[in-house]
Structure formats: C-alpha cells, structure tokens
Amino acid sequence: MEAIILVGGFGTRLRPLTLTVPKPLLPLANIPMVERMIRNLPEIFDTAILAVNYGLNDMRKYFEGRDIGKKVIIVPEEEPLGTGGAMRNCIDYVTGTTAVFNGDVVSSINLNEMLEQHIKTKAKGTLALWKVKDPSRFGVVEFSNGEILQFQEKPEKGSELSNLINAGTYLLELEILEMIPPNQKISIERDIYPKVAGNGLHGFPFEGYFIDSGTPESYLEANFKSIGNNGTASHTGASIRGSVMIHEDAKLEHCIIGPNVIIGPKVKLEKCVIRNSVILSNVNSYGTVIEDSIIGPNIQVKNDIKQNLISPEGKIAF
Ligand code: GTP
C-alpha cells in the first residue's frame, strides 16, 4: 500500500532557513522531517511516494542509497502543482487506497484506526480532523454522523459549523485522485474536497496533538514533541534539565542545557546556557545564552540570542 507525502512547498514561513535546506529535510529531533514521517508509517504501507518540486536535488541526494525500511519513490514536478495537482502527478505509482500526508504535520493520529474506519464506512475519502478552540482563523467542516457535509472558510465567531479543521492527513480511493485534472495547479482542499462533501467524504476526529511545523514557533514545538522518550539523560560536558537531545557527535563543555533543547551533529559549545531551542549541525559558540531560538546550520554564535531564527542566509526575530 502506498503513502504519498507532499513535500514540494517552498516553506516560505521558515525562511531564511529553507533557502538552504528544504523544509522536509529540516530535522525534527535530529532526523529529517520526511524521513521521520516515512519511518512512522504503519507496516501496511510498504511504499512512500514523495511529491517534490522545490528541493528536488537535495531530496534525491538524501535518499540515494539510504535504506529506511520502505521503498521510496521520488516524483518530480516541473512546476509546483499545488496539493491536488501534486497528488495527481503521483497516480501512476499508486495501486488502490492511498494515504496522503502534508509533509510538515506532526500528530498523534492513529493511522491504523483511521484506515479501519475508512474501510468499514466504504468512504471515498477520509480526512483526519482536529478540534481547535478558535476556528475563525481556519477552514472548518460541517460534520454529521461521521460524514463531512460541507466546508466553511474562516467562519465569523458564532457562525461556525463546527470547530473541526482539516489536519492534512487523508485516506483516498483512486476515484478521488482521478477527479483531479492532470498537469494543472489544483488545491485538493479548495478545488476537490468541496465537490465530494456530502457524497462519501468522511471525517476521522482524533485527540492528542497536531502540529503543522511550518512556522518558527511550531517548528520548535514539533522538535520538542519529537524528542519523545529518546532524550539524553546525562552528558559529561553539560548539566541537563528536562527534555533534551544531544547528538553523539556534538562536543559540549561546562554547559547548562534544557529544558526543551535539541543539539545536532558537529556542534561545539563551551560555557553556554541553552533553553527551548534547536541547534542545527555544525554550530559553534562560547559563553552565550540561547533561548527560544533556531540556530544553524554552520553558524558561529557570538552574542546572546532570544526568539531568533539564525541561518547562513540571514536571521529573523519571531
Ligand atoms: P509555506 O510556504 O511556509 O506556507 O510552506 P509550504 O510551501 O510547505 O506550504 P504549506 O505548508 O501550505 O503546504 C502544505 C504541504 O503541502 C507541505 O507539506 C508542502 O510541502 C506541500 N505542498 C504545498 N504546495 C505544494 C506543491 O505545489 N507541490 C508539492 N509537491 N507539495 C506541495
């Protein structure tokens, strides 16, 4: 069974970081986002199809000769085709019911349960649904007896049909992929799903967590969530506080690290205090305090930093 992962976007909200590293190859707890997603697929999915535009060469280079336990097929788009067009572009590689993921979603969806529901209800499509407190910033669905009846974009307070939003994870029958016109820029959310609403489009509400890791704040949150139970309990060069992950190729001396810190490979830190931050590969620093920030790769940090994204192409405060 195949899973299509949409990994072709420009990742504009994470610029300047994504000018040098495409978003799907940015690490979450030291493993590239897209690799983590493939590794987390249930066993029934033996093939991951990556729909790629921006970052194609980097993606090819990354997966060349790398065994991550599933077959990986990279499907290039000459022009960005949007979420729907990108799925349609993969149709030759799918054999039946297909899972589709937005490549930047980190969530607690139980895909096996979702698949069981999808099969039992004989749905044409099943969309994972996440409950939000304030739906006015999102598109919500009208949801009744397990079915999605209509979509409502950014509803005004009091007029919302529900507080359930599309969580970017789908199970689709070929019939839906075939509805997408080929070789055109198409949004599955805006151009296709509204046409199927009320006619075999089902919802799978889930609880736990849902993070679209596409902004600096949510990229940090997704990283901290991804540490899970694999954190570093102790380290000779650092006093560790709370949930922390330190790559084995990092060198730390007299540092205070945590809570919520991820340190990548080839990082060298001496007399630094790091909190709530992601330090990407090959970052050097001496005597600084780094908080609530994303740093790297290949950066020397000379001053204290708070709530900044610093990459080789420039920096932003967030
Ligand atoms: P921003 O530019 O920061 O909004 O990020 P993005 O480019 O990733 O866009 P967005 O987060 O809305 O996209 C959701 C998912 O769809 C991401 O996993 C994207 O990689 C993917 N995606 C968006 N547009 C395209 C496209 O034209 N082609 C492909 N293959 N994937 C896309």
Interval 105-145: pLDDT, tens = 999 999 999 999 999 999 999 999 999 998 888 889 999 99
Residue from 243, 292, 244, 233 nearest 267 by CA: 244
Domain with CATH 2.160.10.10 in the chain: 231-317
What is the CATH topology of the domain spanning 231-317?
UDP N-Acetylglucosamine Acyltransferase; domain 1 (2.160.10)
Distance 11 CA to ligand 1 centre (A): 7
Q: What is the pLDDT of residue 115?
A: 97
Average pLDDT taken over every residue of the chain:
95
Residue 186's pLDDT is 96
120 is catalytic: no
Ligand 1 centroid from CA 25, angstroms = 13
Q: Are 53 and 8 in contact (CB under 8 A)?
A: yes
Is the pTM value of this prediction over 0.75?
yes
Name the segment(s) of the chain with CATH classification 3.90.550.10: 2-212
pLDDT at 154 over 90: no
- The Cα–Cα gap between 17 and 167 comes to 24
Tell me which architecture the domain covering 2-212 has in CATH: Alpha-Beta Complex (3.90)
Distance 176 CA to ligand 1 centre (A): 20
Instruction: Report the nearest atom of ligand 1 relative to the CA of 81.
Output: 27
